[in-house]
Amino acid sequence: MANPISQKYSKDMTNGDTFSLLISFMVPMMIGNIFQQFYNIVDTIIAGKFIDSNALAAVGSTGHITNLFFALGNGLATGIGIIVSQFFGSGDNDGVRKTITNAFFMVSATSIFVGCLGASLSRPVLIYGLKTPDEILENSVIYMSVTCIGFIGTALYNTISYIMRGIGDSKTPLYFLIVSSVLNILMDLAFVIYFDLGVKGLAIATITAQALSAVLSIGYALLKNPVFKFEKRDFVLDKDIIIKCYALGGSMALQSGLIALSFVILQRVINSFGAVVIAAFTTTSKIENLVNMQFKALGDSLSTYSGQNIGARKGDRVKKGYRVGMTMMGVYALIMIPLMWILGDFLMRVFVSEPEVIAFGKTAMRILSSFYLPLGTIYVCRGILNGAGDAKFPLISGISEMIGRVIFPAFFCSLPFLGPWGLWISTGITWTIVGVTAFIRYHQKSWRQGLF
């Protein structure tokens, strides 16, 4: 039955046309993902334009390692959002409220621990783990340390966003992401240009914008959303909910962490090919992220849809969501493949001007786009399985992707007739292996037992 409080600030996805529900839920997330990408590159642009090249390199050099720490918090937030969606779909609003209150206890404690760990380990990790050049080391340590100290703001913002998505509200997180992006840009410029804080200013602006967005979005939810009307009994720690959140969220955090770690290791292989290949790989990765954002929006939409319908014990709708999701993914992939073959040169020129890098990247984009169908399959199957609370799949997926990103580049790049092209070929093969693994896991019956 429909959730009785599913009104203006939530969406019941257990009834209605599946395609329409997914599209209406996806669009705000697609826009939000664009802002998220924009948010992520602002520090890089301002560092290069208003500070110097060393500052730019310092910000870039910490990206993969800070993503490793942030992946842990994001995985926990994702798991919490899925559990909220299952309670919401079943009409158990007491369970929704208890999960929300327990979530903030868990996320606060976890993010403080992870943030302090990241800040304290920043120097040894950058020196011994990434072999950061001496000329950018101090700026890199500052940027990573400050960002990790402010990790709690990022974690709380992600948590409230995934909770809102779990109850079917994908618009409110978008509004506060836009606010966060604008605040970040304004504070970046103020701290760097007017207060001359350099790289430290960039980091302070980022964590302050995230913290303010977290406070505003939580305050808005408490004031406006009936789901967040708590009673005293909702603030009691619930062992079962905490275990469930850590079990599912921990599995997803481990998946994200393994993937992030694989990129840290992969960076060493990339660096061995010199400036042209590094520039081409960096640029094609940015373009790839633009494509990935839409797959991710579909996957996240399917997670909420699947979670709510599993909570409502509507297995047929979960299966329909899979079929509709695969169709939507296939159409998008088959449109993007020829576009990347035709527009690869133009897209590279948007980011870089060196002819050699453009030529290299153009061919690389053609290689990557040939694997968009298995890439999309990962997101569709992962979305359904995540929504079902399948704790095994994130671990299987994360290990598969890490092995592919670490072992395949070393092998393919060592072949004389491939050389650096092995970087992009290995990425495509990794997508294919993980996509096939996800497809097989979806069609197994074991994860459905007891759900529908």
Within a domain: 243: yes
The answer to whether residues 40 and 168 belong to one domain is yes
Task: State how far the Cα of 62 lies from the Cα of 263, in Å rounded to an integer.
Answer: 12
**Where a domain ends, among 246, 271, 296?**
271
Residue 137: the pLDDT is: 83
Task: State how far the Cα of 214 lies from the Cα of 351, in Å rounded to an integer.
Answer: 32
pLDDT digits (tens, 9 = 90+) for 394-433: 778 888 888 888 889 888 888 888 888 999 999 999 999 9
The answer to whether residues 387 and 323 belong to one domain is yes
The answer to whether residues 362 and 379 belong to one domain is yes
| DSSP symbols for 124-141 | HIIIIIS---HHHHHHHH
Within a domain: 3: no
The answer to whether residues 193 and 320 belong to one domain is no
- Which amino acid appears at position 184 of this protein? N
The answer to whether residues 122 and 186 belong to one domain is yes
Within a domain: 14: no
Residue 188: the pLDDT is: 87
The answer to whether residues 168 and 306 belong to one domain is no
Residues 6+ apart with CB under 8 A from 342: none
pLDDT digits (tens, 9 = 90+) for 292-306: 888 989 998 999 999
Within a domain: 334: yes
Q: Is the pLDDT of residue 167 over 80?
A: yes
Within a domain: 12: no
Within a domain: 401: yes
Task: State how far the Cα of 107 lies from the Cα of 98, in Å rounded to an integer.
Answer: 14
Asked if 387 and 315 touch (Cβ cutoff 8 Å), the reply is no
Indicate the pTM of the whole model.
0.83
pLDDT digits (tens, 9 = 90+) for 66-106: 777 777 778 888 889 989 999 999 889 899 999 999 999 99
The answer to whether residues 169 and 38 belong to one domain is yes
**Where a domain ends, among 205, 238, 271?**
271
The answer to whether residues 225 and 301 belong to one domain is no
The answer to whether residues 306 and 419 belong to one domain is yes
How large is the greatest C-alpha to C-alpha distance in the chain, in angstroms? 67
* Range of the structural domain that residue 32 is part of: 24-271
The answer to whether residues 307 and 291 belong to one domain is yes
Residue 318: the pLDDT is: 94
Q: Tokens standing for 356?
A: 């050699």
The answer to whether residues 379 and 443 belong to one domain is yes
The answer to whether residues 141 and 46 belong to one domain is yes
Residue 199: closest CA among 120, 274, 138: 138
Q: How far apart are the first and last CA of the chain?
A: 15
Task: Please count the structural domains in the chain.
Answer: 2
Residues 6+ apart with CB under 8 A from 70: 151, 154
